[in-house]
Amino acid sequence: MTAKTLMVMGTSSSAGKSLLTTALCRCLARTGLRVAPFKAQNMSNNAAVCADGAEIGRSQALQAIAAGIAPQADMNPILLKPEGDTRSQVIVDGRPHQTSDATDYYARREQLWPHVTAALDRLRRQVDVVVIEGAGSPAELNLADVEMVNMSVARYSRAAVLLVGDIERGGVFAQLLGTLWLLPPEDRELVRGLIVNKFRGDLSLFDSGIDILRRRGGVPVLGVLPWIDALRLPEEDAVALDTPAGKDLLPSGDDPAHSADHRLDIAVVRLPHIANFDDFDPLASEPSVRLRYVRHADQLGRPDVLILPGTKNTLGDLDWLRRCGLAQSIRDAAQTGTHVVGICGGYQMLGRRIDNPLRLEANIDHAEALGLLDITTTFGPAKLTRQARFRILDDAIAPGTKNQTVGGYEIHCGQSTTAATWLEACPETSCSETPVAADRGAAPLVDGCYAREGRVWGCYLHGLFHNDAFRRAWLVRLGAANSTPASSSNDHLQQSLDRLADAFAQHISIDQVLQMLDNPSPIAETQHA
């Protein structure tokens, strides 16, 4: 049986497509349907690793969790991971394919499009409904002939399209009606409903707006969704860190060490190519923690903990740290007692040296790192992606955790050598290296390094702070006043997903959505070019 399809498109980036796709996955799964998410092409450095080591976008992994199924590569057959302003690593079917600039990438549409359709076809054979997410706007006229993620997918799958407008940014009538009017007639027929998203205040104030949209657009308005505060779901795009809401940036001159706020002050460096920053969501949810992101040395203050996160461009971001003055600030902070932590690319930066013999990231052979950890990293052609479980070898970092296991995933180029490791891989750890010809036995069986009695440490393990016992033991060492939140990291995630779905179902009729699924678009399935 071939699954029915429903597609969420937005009038622009950040209109709420990912969140509403997540809500639909949860709501439809609650009705007893087998549901899977799909996004043909995603651009994000926030990646997730599936059980077989495949990389997909973080949003598709979250949507799979909302649907109650395991993430897989077919949910996001093409993932673009930006390495600079115009170049991205292209992940196809979960594995690195090539690095391309934008012009070369679009020229390869004929080569990549079959991967999109094959993945969608496989997914539709597994479930009852596939909820498809678009990207950007379907009315980007200059890309209409080459795009592989919006109307091309809707035409191929005969999906009922829900078009979402963001009233928070203003101009929602121009957003929704303008998008409809710019679509060619055959694409306009696919749009089966409009949704107004992110409304603040009394929803009845927009009653006349619904009538205007319905009358002028000729498309049903399914509802108006209110702004939902403090969901704390993983963000896909680093643009979320550039907005004040939910991201606590310390103004110049303000020092939390001398404020009335007695929570632990944890500062994460907002690297230009920051990746997988949802690593720190569990810390942000701790009542004893104030988590903030800093871009400049004068925003740093005197934090209790300073974290260098993952990055898609370690050497480029290391150079940025030096140029903006943060490199010296990090060294100074470590000297004066601040705990310094590096995850993945941030871990590499804390070492002594990074060798780049193939010049994979930059046109240099090597770079001196920050010198806070006794590790040396060498970049090679193989990319390690794996879900992993590790045994903690001693109590230096988090007292009481010796011999406990922690789980997460690794996703990095480069191998680091050290004599002071603190994590040992459990036997069930899975591993995948690309290219396929790489020696799988080269995957490290140990991970991490620490110094200064555990005040400076790092590792490659993404998701480390999602391990509740480790996180709480580490926070106790730091002097956290309350390190026992009401729910575990996973419970908190599930509760947030339920709250999102409840809000969606309160304002959008799921029965109306199901009726759309029972009446597919009349557009012929062969019209997919």
Active-site annotation, residues: 344, 462
Nearest of 103, 105, 160 to residue 132 by alpha carbon: 160
Report CA dihedral (395, 400, 402, 403) to the nearest 10 degrees: -170
Contact 292, 261 (CB under 8 A): no
Contact 60, 42 (CB under 8 A): yes
Q: What are phi and psi of 389, to 5 degrees?
A: -125, 135
Query: How many residues are recorded in the chain?
Result: 529
Nearest of 319, 310, 366, 311 to residue 343 by alpha carbon: 310
Q: Name residues whose C-beta falls within 8 Å of residue 323's C-beta, 6 or more positions apart in sequence.
A: none
Nearest of 447, 440, 394 to residue 417 by alpha carbon: 447
**Strand ordering across the sheet containing 160-166:** 35-38, 129-133, 4-10, 160-166, 191-199, 221-226
Could you tell me where the beta strands, DSSP code E, fall in 200-326?
A: 221-226, 264-269, 274-275, 289-294, 305-308, 310-311
Tally Cβ neighbours within 10 Å of residue 227: 13
Q: Name residues whose C-beta falls within 8 Å of residue 412's C-beta, 6 or more positions apart in sequence.
A: 310, 344, 345, 348, 383, 384, 460
Cis bond upstream, residue 435 (ω within 30): yes
Contact 390, 426 (CB under 8 A): yes
Three-state DSSP at 233 gives coil
End-to-end Cα distance, the chain? 24
| Helix ranges (DSSP H) in 132-251 | 151-157, 172-182, 185-188, 207-217
Print the SS3 string covering 362-413.
Answer: CCCCEEECCCCCCCEEEEEEEEEEEEEEEEECCCCCCCCCCCCEEEEEEEEE
Classify residue 50 as exposed, middle or buried by CB count within 10 Å of its CB (0-12, 13-18, 19+): buried
Return the exposure string of 359-387: e unless at least 16 CB atoms fall within 10 Å of the residue's CB, then b. eebbeeeebebbebbebbbbbbebbbbbb
Number of helices followed by number of strands (H, E) in the chain: 15, 27
Q: Which two tokens stand for residue 407?
A: 């789980």
Distances (CA, A) of 264 to 91, 96, 166, 300, 451: 38, 39, 35, 14, 21
